[in-house]
Structure 1
Amino acid sequence: MKKLLYPVLFIVILFFNCTSNDNPIDEIQLDDKLYFPPLNSNTWETISISSLGWNENEFKPLLNYLEEKNTKGFIILYNGKIVVERYMNQHDSEKLWYWASAGKTLTTAISGIAQNEGFININNKVSDYLGTGWTSATLQKENLITCKNLLSMDSGLDDSLGDNVSKENLKYKADAGSRWAYHNVYVKMQDVISQATNIPWSTYFNSKLKDKIGMNGAWIKNNDFNVYWSNTRSMARFGLMISANGKWENTQIVPEAFLSEATNTSQDINKAYGYMWWLNGKSSFRLPASQIEFQGDLISNAPNDMYAALGKNDQKIYIAPSKKLVIVRMGNSASDINFARSDFDNELWAKLNAFITE
């Protein structure tokens, strides 16, 4: 009888040890902790498709589709680790590519950092930083335009006059906050930050964001635009930091409260727009170069909580918190020239849904 009792006691003790606060379940949870690749290194941990239980039969069709649609770089991160990384159409991991308007979200991030450091307040007038007369509007109308209006794309300035942001081309169309229109005038936020910090835009960007998360790349002036170029992994690094509520490991890069504002509806006109982040799962949306309100989700095949940086010719950063996913796509236009959302978004998410199964 005693011989039988000891093994039973051992099993009972082992059971209670394994269900205490120090149990192996907690170790599994620690293994699921969000991963960040080291700075200044090409090292980036991977996780296999099979270990996630995704549908491997749909992997090849996804890659074929991406290549057919002029993709150059494509990355899927799950909880920070690389599941898929592919380069195609004469591209590779070292080549730089342009972010186009997906890079607007870099300006958003820097705006949050500059505000946190006390240099700006996005609720202040733009003229507080640039001086009066930065537009052709009357002083009364110009003084209605805040930095937040620039971030939200509701400055009220005339978007039909092109992308030049000289004073002569920035004309009054409607009161700030009363009309949403996709407009290159957002770039004035870079001037606001440079004036407020007394530091050149690129220098401040590099020290406060780029270097802190290990990105490469540079801002390149092109006519009226200031466009960021980098490799695909740098775009994924930025998406990862944003998905981590603005943190990189234990360092808060972009204030979490500001980022929460940025990734939620910023005004009442375009519910699918934050501070230059596009938002899924809203009841309606508007698109660049249009005053039409469309009903329904921005990207119906994507998760409702997905938000995205979208750029001309299908430059994409998708962040889907409920799925623990960051997805990056760089390349030429998948079909026609576009400025943000395109049919490609919904088609790609259909392919992703077939591949990423739970």
Structure 2
Amino acid sequence: MPKTIYSFLLLFFCFGCNKETVDPTPTETIYFPPLTGTIWETKSIASLGWKQPAVQPLLDYLELKHTKGFIILVNGRIVMENYFNGHSGTTNWYWASAGKTLTSTLTGIAQQEGILNINNKVSQYIGTGWTSETLAQENLITCKNLLTMTSGIEDIANGDDVSSANLQYKADAETRWAYHNVYVKLQDVIAQASGQSWNTYFNTKLRDKIGMDGVWFQSGNNSVYGSTTRSMARFGLLMYNKGKWNNTVILNETYFREATSTSQNINLSYGYLWWLNGKSSYLLPQPQLTIPGSIIPTAPNDMFMALGKNDQKIYVIPSKKMVIIRMGDAADNVNLALSDFDETLWEKISALYL
């Protein structure tokens, strides 16, 4: 082969390779809706290559199971947004224990501002005597223990009452995992550390910065958050983007990673008030029984979750670029954070794209 032709072919071949390398298909950026107004970009089922016939069975199941609001985001864009049973996009609904993750997030924000340290004991911020334990027992309890449900406080006998008389010793801190409403003491810690009311600090540092609506209200002994379904989706989107809203850091990534990773060696499926899918075992809120396997076997293993009574759900799935919100009444009678509803729901969600 003549040298000139060989050189031309080699140049052509290399040019083709370089073109493929330097001109890849653009990666879609994460979308963030404006802080005010109702504009929110959408993305169609067809554009994702999802299966349209799987949509109606999912919607039928959601309505059958007493759902009120349901949203799927992909890379921040709304793919599905549906309301049922008299609910609408402007109606507020309670988050129940899914709102624990709001307290976790505010704790991280307060720590990055240098006004608290989660490794410090709770009594350093709100004084001693906040429990009925001995001083030595109480001083073992750190803010991190409240984040990880390892305070050792009696979790069944006195229900959700967090008055000092009802916060009684069960075990030393860090030796026992038990789901308990005592985490709300972190709201008192933050109020004392910041010199502001909990509501003011929450609104200023989180709610208003990502365009959420909603309010905190008292329900029995609980401090509960209520908002629209889209506001819950905004928070899920923030956590999907590792604590950043657009280019603004709301929660630093170090704390985010700690919060959404195994936080202790007793319940591997629990972070800082976040549930974690795909671990080798988990504990349910009440029984002291380690159950082998993933919490929701039908869902992606990298999913982390905010779960609340009567099936309030925030699912964040990094590998699928998805955030999924479910608000409503209990799918099957009254239940706590976890139920069989999750497994069947995920079978129907997965049918959209598998």
Asked if TM exceeds 0.5, the reply is: yes
Distance in 2 between residues matched to 1:270 and 1:137, nearest whole Å: 24
Partner of 2:210: 213
Partner of 2:66: 70
**Alpha-carbon spacing, 1:301–1:17, altered in 2? closer, same or farther (3 Å):** closer
Q: Percent identity?
A: 59
Partner of 2:5: none
Of the candidates 149, 154, 159, which is equivalent to residue 153 of structure 1? Answer: 149
Of the candidates 121, 132, 144, which is equivalent to residue 128 of structure 2? Answer: 132
Partner of 2:318: 321
1:82 counterpart = 2:78:
yes
Distance in 2 between residues matched to 1:336 and 1:294, nearest whole Å: 23
Partner of 1:51: 47
Of the candidates 322, 328, 341, which is equivalent to residue 331 of structure 1? Answer: 328
Partner of 1:261: 258
Show CA shifts across 1:50-80 (max 9, x none): 0101111110000000000000000000011
Question: Per-residue deviation at 1:145?
Answer: 0.1
Partner of 2:164: 167
Kindly tell me the number of residue pairs found equivalent between the two proteins.
345
Q: Which amino acid aligns with 1:106?
A: L
TM-score (norm 2): 0.94
TM-score (norm 1): 0.93
Partner of 2:87: 91
Show CA shifts across 1:171-228 (max 9, x none): 0000000011110000000000000111000100000000000000000112211100
Question: Per-residue deviation at 1:17?
Answer: 8.1
**Alpha-carbon spacing, 1:200–1:86, altered in 2? closer, same or farther (3 Å):** same
Question: Per-residue deviation at 1:18?
Answer: 4.3
Distance in 1 between residues matched to 2:69 and 2:166, nearest whole Å: 36
Partner of 1:41: 37
Q: CA-atom RMSD, angstroms?
A: 1.7
Q: Which amino acid aligns with 2:220?
A: N
Show CA shifts across 1:269-322 (max 9, x none): 111000010001111100112111111110000001011000000000001100
Alignment of 1:1-358 (within 5 A): 18-19=19-20, 21=22, 23=23, 25=24, 28-29=26-27, 32-160=28-156, 161-357=158-354
**Alpha-carbon spacing, 1:266–1:17, altered in 2? closer, same or farther (3 Å):** closer
Partner of 2:6: none
Question: Per-residue deviation at 1:344?
Answer: 0.4
Distance in 1 between residues matched to 2:291 and 2:108, nearest whole Å: 30
Question: Per-residue deviation at 1:147?
Answer: 0.2
Question: Per-residue deviation at 1:20?
Answer: 6.4
Distance in 1 between residues matched to 2:14 and 2:189, nearest whole Å: 64
Gaps of 5+ in 2: 1-8
Distance in 2 between residues matched to 1:303 and 1:288, nearest whole Å: 22
